[in-house]
Amino acid sequence: MRNLYYILQKEFLLIFRDKTILRLIFIMPVMQLLLIPLAADYEVKHVAIAIVDQDHSSDSQRLVQKVGASAYFHIVAVPPDYRAGTTLMERGAADILLTIPPHFERDLITRGHASLQLVADAVNGVRAGLGTSYALSMVRQFQSELRALAQPAAPVGPSIEVSSASWYNPHVNYAAFMVPGILPILVTMVGAFLSSLNIVQEKEAGTIEQINVTPIRKHEFILGKLIPFWVLGMISISIGIVVARVAFQLWPAGSLLTIYVFAALYLVGVLGIGLFISTITESQQQATLLSFFIMMIFILLGGLYTPIESMPRWAQLIAAFNPPSYFIAVVRAVYIKGSTLSDLAPALAKFGGFALVFNALAMWSYKKRTA
């Protein structure tokens, strides 16, 4: 314990002398939690739409006003004909082109139905698909309003009413889904990336040779390198929780203790990854490049942006061995569903396995020479 105490004392002194690491630890969580949920928004809004109104009736004008009042659309132009509308789409000025044909109102009154043409620029498939869905939904709402105005008391034939509800996130709040997913990534970056530079710094400074000839044992050396960043990782997730509360009014539906228990064990695992990288590389440049490569895999296959269930089978197999994928699912479950430790016990066992394997690799790969 005395040897470990002196190692910890040295490590904390080195960390607090390095202003860059301190800035990364304290500023990075705040900036990423504030910027990523606001910038990486999956909800498509302000779709550029051009409307060709060839009817110029009261009903067609009412439909144009309804589309313009929606937060999902931005009317960029009302071209005189279809050719002018397609020219706007070719220039990239419009994503959706809605054409209201002549006699639109007359057909509604005399026949009870009318046609509209909807054309989407499918270069951006997601924007085109969601924009088309929004437009179809607005047309259906408009149709229901017309029926209510025409026959307010009479039923319009048999109908089936469908009611839906979103469990756990009833208002489908995007931040409630995204912010809890970012917290594990912040902890992973502090744990894996910063710790991967630690032993490499000793190698480049030449102090690793001095440590190698001391009576310090391998496990004491690894613990001395691991514990300071474990403490800083716990501070990092605490900062993230506070920022989520202040900036997005998000607070876990479950217990904070559950998050901290998982974070404590998870950090042991990712710190083992960082220390393993540090022992097998010879320079900070090598450690940085390898850490960046691993972090990209962690993020892209962790379920933060793309559901793991939607990935190809081979990607799902890789995600099964991806520690952040489990922690992201855990934090989201605690924040949104209020899951408890007993609910998440299988994930806790997997975290323990990750921590054991990666730290055993770090200890095995550290070659210590005795005097």
DSSP string of 47-115? EEEEEEESS-SHHHHHHHHHHHHSTTEEEEE--SSHHHHHHHHHTTS-SEEEEE-TTHHHHHHHTS---
pTM: 0.68
Same domain, 52 and 190: no
User: Is residue 187 a part of any domain in this protein?
Assistant: yes
Contact 232, 25 (CB under 8 A): yes
User: Is residue 203 a part of any domain in this protein?
Assistant: yes
Same domain, 73 and 217: no
Same domain, 35 and 53: no
Q: Please say which residue of 87, 119, 150 terminates a domain.
A: 150
Same domain, 197 and 273: yes
Provide the Cα torsion 272, 294, 192, 346; round to 10°: -60
Tens digits of residue pLDDT in 178-220 = 889 888 888 888 777 777 777 777 777 766 666 666 666 767 7
Distant-in-sequence, close-in-space partners of 139: CB < 8 Å, separation ≥ 6: 63, 116
SS3 label, residue 117: strand
Same domain, 134 and 183: no
Q: In terms of Cα–Cα distance, which of 70, 46, 64, 67 is closest to 127?
A: 46
Number of Cβ within a 10 Å radius of residue 36? 17
User: Is residue 128 a part of any domain in this protein?
Assistant: yes
Same domain, 318 and 235: yes
Half-sphere exposure of 162 (CA within 13 A, CB side): 1
Same domain, 87 and 190: no
SS3 label, residue 329: helix
Tens digits of residue pLDDT in 146-176 = 777 765 544 444 443 444 556 777 776 778 8
Same domain, 141 and 216: no
C-alpha to C-alpha distance for 295 and 255, rounded to whole angstroms = 28
User: Is residue 159 a part of any domain in this protein?
Assistant: no
Same domain, 253 and 340: yes
Same domain, 118 and 198: no
C-alpha to C-alpha distance for 248 and 158, rounded to whole angstroms = 44
C-alpha to C-alpha distance for 204 and 287, rounded to whole angstroms = 12
Task: Place 71 in a pLDDT band, splitting at 50, 70 and 90.
Answer: confident
Same domain, 34 and 51: no
Q: How many structural domains does the chain have?
A: 2
Same domain, 199 and 341: yes
Tens digits of residue pLDDT in 275-302 = 888 878 877 777 888 888 888 888 888 8
Task: Provide the pLDDT for residue 337.
Answer: 87
Cβ-count burial 1-18 (b if 16+ within 10 Å, e if not): eeebeebbeebeeebeee
Q: Please say which residue of 150, 165, 190 terminates a domain.
A: 150
C-alpha to C-alpha distance for 84 and 89, rounded to whole angstroms = 9
User: Is residue 162 a part of any domain in this protein?
Assistant: no
User: Is residue 166 a part of any domain in this protein?
Assistant: no
- Provide the CATH number for the domain around residue 98: 3.40.1710.10
Distant-in-sequence, close-in-space partners of 359: CB < 8 Å, separation ≥ 6: 222, 226, 268, 269, 271, 272, 275
312 token code pair = 């190809």
Task: Provide the pLDDT for residue 371.
Answer: 38
Torsion sign across C-alpha atoms 248, 251, 257, 259: negative
User: Is residue 201 a part of any domain in this protein?
Assistant: yes
User: Is residue 350 a part of any domain in this protein?
Assistant: yes
157 burial (CB, 10 Å; 0-12 / 13-18 / 19+) is: exposed
- Domain range for 78 is 47-150
